[in-house]
Structure 1
């Protein structure tokens, strides 16, 4: 399968994951050819999300759709993911964020991961590292708090349960969550979303006091091994995460450009 096919699977998965979040929160959404939009509405100025899913011949066509939705939703803040890097949203007051790679891993088992859960391994620097699946509301709340504190997400701090990732998200078909602990203490987490064609990996994070102990690699290996290893896996990598993903078999598919507007003044 060629690069564009894996790229489009990644785009589709990102769009589907945002739609699952919309259902969990009760948000509005629009799905148009080549563009998926979600009206995040936790607060009046919450950042709306737009995902470009297919190549476009005319950037002006995408920008027209964006203009219509921004007006309809009275949008103040937004983030738009453009994996084809052909848009210029400066006239909307948006700022181009650092380029990140879309990566994919071909289907297949993860070497060294056993079938059962929790997965247990030694943590770097000593201690026992365990990774398990979050199967109930309390466990999912721990995943949410780890993500809010680990990235961190300033807009979601101080953490309130369900403010970023409500428990209803765990009940959306295809959504699973994973948590890592070192000697029983929370250490890292991630979320996966299977849309039937690919498994997207999101929010891979490690708490600041647990970094350098192999947590991110362990939680990702476990998630990949148990969340449909028979499908390709996709993600968008940060510069810090890319070396870990490469060691687990992910390869670059394309650079993606994200645009962000934080206020009506830009």
Structure 2
């Protein structure tokens, strides 16, 4: 399995875990995984094969037009689809095992539902995720994830307030990093770097993958992540 396949496998594992925890309907085929939420998150698809069967592509086309989804996102790291949606490209990155410094602030490894609720709040406000606002109307990072095998979450506090958060999914021979964010009022303090130090030390000796939003790409490059592909995210 090459690096892109490893990264894509983990991305599908993340959405499988998140979809189950949120109570979404899941459809899994050889060529794609889809999480369906007609109320809030809409249709979220991860293409999982560079050569999806024709039947899978036909089913995906039907899914896209079958309902009036509140949101649609189709993540295609292989460049095999071109739906009538708006494309954006994000780098898929991977990092081989390597030492990193110890964090210089306390990074809390989440163990309780109360702590995970704080992760949810930081993620909803930090990204932000407007379809999960106002905070508390639904959980973007639901309590069921706490008992999901391979899922872990982390928090950093500043002056008694939860300021930064992130999560990981470990499956088999690779780990993925997701939801890394800092609340707006705490940005510029290097908290994302401190969080990454703690997470990478926790995940050692596995290779680690992520898909990087543009503001964070310089940080990830400095931590040893290398771009292996440009994934197209088609969204409504």
TM-score by length of 2: 0.92
Question: Does structure 2 retain, via aligned residues, the 8 Å contact 1:189–1:206?
Answer: yes
- CA offsets per residue over residues 127-151 of structure 1, 9 Å max, x none? xx32111110000000110011111
Q: Do residues 237 (structure 1) and 212 (structure 2) align?
A: yes
Verify: 1:216 aligned to 2:192, yes or no. Answer: yes
Q: TM-score, normalized by length of structure 1? A: 0.82
Q: Distance in 1 between matches of 2:52 and 2:139?
A: 38
Q: Which moved more, 1:61-70 or 1:214-223?
A: 61-70
Alignment match of 2:51 (pick from 42, 48, 56): 56
1:33-182 maps to which residues of 2 (within 5 A)?
33-41=30-38, 43=39, 46-56=41-51, 63-70=57-64, 74-76=67-69, 77-90=71-84, 94-96=85-87, 98-108=88-98, 110-113=99-102, 119=103, 121=104, 129-160=105-136, 163-182=139-158
SS in 2 for 1:216: helix
**RMSD value over aligned CA atoms?**
1.9
Aligned residues of 2:76 and 2:231 also touching (Cα < 8 A) = yes
CA contact (8 A) 1:35 1:53 kept: yes
For residues 171-197 of structure 1, what are the alpha-carbon distances to aligned partners after superposition, in whole Å with 9 as ceiling and x for unaligned?
100000001112332111001001122
State the structure with more CA Rg: 1
Distance 1:162 1:172, change over 3 A: farther
Per the alignment, in what secondary structure is the counterpart of residue 99 of structure 1? strand
Q: Distance in 2 between matches of 1:106 and 1:176?
A: 20
Looking at structure 1, the residues matched to 234 and 196 of structure 2 have their Cα atoms a distance apart, in angstroms, of: 27
Aligned residues: 235
SS in 2 for 1:12: helix
2:18 is equivalent to residue 21 of structure 1: yes
